[in-house]
Amino acid sequence: MEEIKIGVVGLGYVGLPLARLFATKYAVVGFDLKKERIEALNRGIDRTLEVSEEGMRSVLRPSVPKRGEKGLYCSCDPEDLRDCNYYIITVPTPVDKHNRPDLTPLIRASETVGQVIVRGDIVIYESTVYPGATEEDCIPVIERVSGLKYNVDFFAGYSPERINPGDKQHTVEKIKKVTSGSTPEIGRKINEVYASVITAGTHLAPTIKVAEAAKVIENSQRDINIAFVNELAKIFNLMQIDTMAVLEAAATKWNFLPFRPGLVGGHCIGVDPYYLAQKAQEYGYHPEIILAGRRMNDGMGEYVAKQVLKCMIKKGQCVKESRILVLGITFKENCPDVRNTKVVDIINALKDYDLQVDIYDPWASPAEVEKEYGLKVMNELPARQYEAVVLAVAHRQFRELNIKTLCKANGVLYDVKGVLECECDGRL
């Protein structure tokens, strides 16, 4: 069997756990453009909290490992990738301000690989894309930069990431892996490499496009299901019916899907449906259900803000210049990830009504929030009371708080996540 050396391009929430896992069996070089990220990782520190310091130190090497060795070396120098024969690209795939797919990170990563790839090498994409992106948009970049010919000199595969940030139960090795290759033989080789470390097993898809499509519909399906219960929440709120009570009752049927209303953000669910929709439109088809679900979910932040204001008015509060505390700004609980967080929509909508908004989140990086959204976030609980408190993220720290004490005597408590056991003035 050939000696395998893997280069992982992109060491974020997806790439780092994968690189660490492969490093328990193979020589791995992890590449990222962010110098400060590399310096922290080489000290064993992962600020995304996806990999523990102990887990990092157990595989870290002080220099680039040779083929046949084990361990991980992190670098921001693309030359350190040169001896690899497998390249795995795990960079983000965002959308622009018009919700159009932005393949810039993928193109740049492909250029990086194109500089070092040689005959016989295999490049595998894990980033979520629309069907066809790997072979139509990315591979030509590698061909252009390297001067090599696809499926003659080098080969490709697609194996979609399925990591759930902050989830310590469903870690990368415990999630079944879909694999694919540009030829049947390459597909089998890629499948064997992943199967050697993924304890949950693998599924070899017949083509790269099938694997791409499988990934993009996973999150599109979830997005549509959440949009449905968000619409239910709006209907039941008008009818003064407790949405969560309705869902609990309905869930007693064996085939009821237990989705809950909420904000849909993050790097996947709030983004991936736009990739599929864009590709569908290129073929002349307008995806009505997918885009309707997106409109519903993208509007939930403003809806929550209006519900909070309604509660305040009902209690006779003067809304203008009132002070509101928002608990949480990350896109999900118990995770520092603030990418595409829809809590920002709540905050901006409240500010439009001249409300003063404080944000408390013990998980979020104030510097990152400031850079991404121009907002100030506190990592320590403020010592004051507010006209309204909005629980936007279900961090475990918030569940342990007596949140009522943060409200003034006539204050409003609104529970976006539906997790508080105390009496609230409003819930989704």
Whether residue 420 is predicted with pLDDT greater than 90 in this model: the reply is no
Q: pLDDT confidence of 2, banded at 50, 70, 90?
A: confident
Residue 290 is predicted with a pLDDT of 95
Residue 265 is predicted with a pLDDT of 83
Q: Where are the domains of the chain?
A: 5-212, 232-427
> What mean pLDDT is predicted for residues 145-171?
90
Q: pLDDT confidence of 164, banded at 50, 70, 90?
A: confident
Same CATH topology for 5-212 and 232-427: the answer is yes
Task: Convert the pLDDT of each residue in 323-354 to its tens digit.
Answer: 999 999 999 999 999 988 999 999 999 999 99
Q: pLDDT confidence of 79, banded at 50, 70, 90?
A: very high
Residue 356 is predicted with a pLDDT of 94
CA distances from 322 to 252, 353, 408 (A): 42, 10, 11
Task: Convert the pLDDT of each residue in 198-255 to its tens digit.
Answer: 999 999 999 999 999 999 999 999 999 999 999 999 999 999 999 999 999 999 999 9
Q: Give the neighbor-by-neighbor strand order of the sheet with 386-391.
A: 356-360, 323-327, 386-391, 407-415, 426-427
Whether residue 390 is predicted with pLDDT greater than 80 in this model: the reply is yes
| Residues carrying an active site annotation | 268
Is residue 242 within 8 Å of residue 214, measured between CB atoms?
Answer: no
**What integer best gives the mean pLDDT of the chain?**
94
Q: Which of the two residues, 125 and 163, has the higher pLDDT score?
A: 125
What does the alpha-carbon distance between residue 362 and residue 389 come to, in Å, rounded to a whole number?
Answer: 16
DSSP state of 63: S
Q: pLDDT confidence of 1, banded at 50, 70, 90?
A: low
What does the alpha-carbon distance between residue 391 and residue 404 come to, in Å, rounded to a whole number?
Answer: 11
Q: Which CATH number fits domain 232-427: 3.40.1710.10, 3.40.50.720, 3.90.1150.10, 3.40.50.620?
A: 3.40.50.720
Concatenated DSSP letters of 163-193: --TT-SSS-GGGS-EEE-BSSHHHHHHHHHH
Thinking of the domain 5-212, which architecture would CATH place it in? 3-Layer(aba) Sandwich (3.40)
Q: What single letter denotes the amino acid at residue 207?
A: T
Q: pLDDT confidence of 269, banded at 50, 70, 90?
A: confident
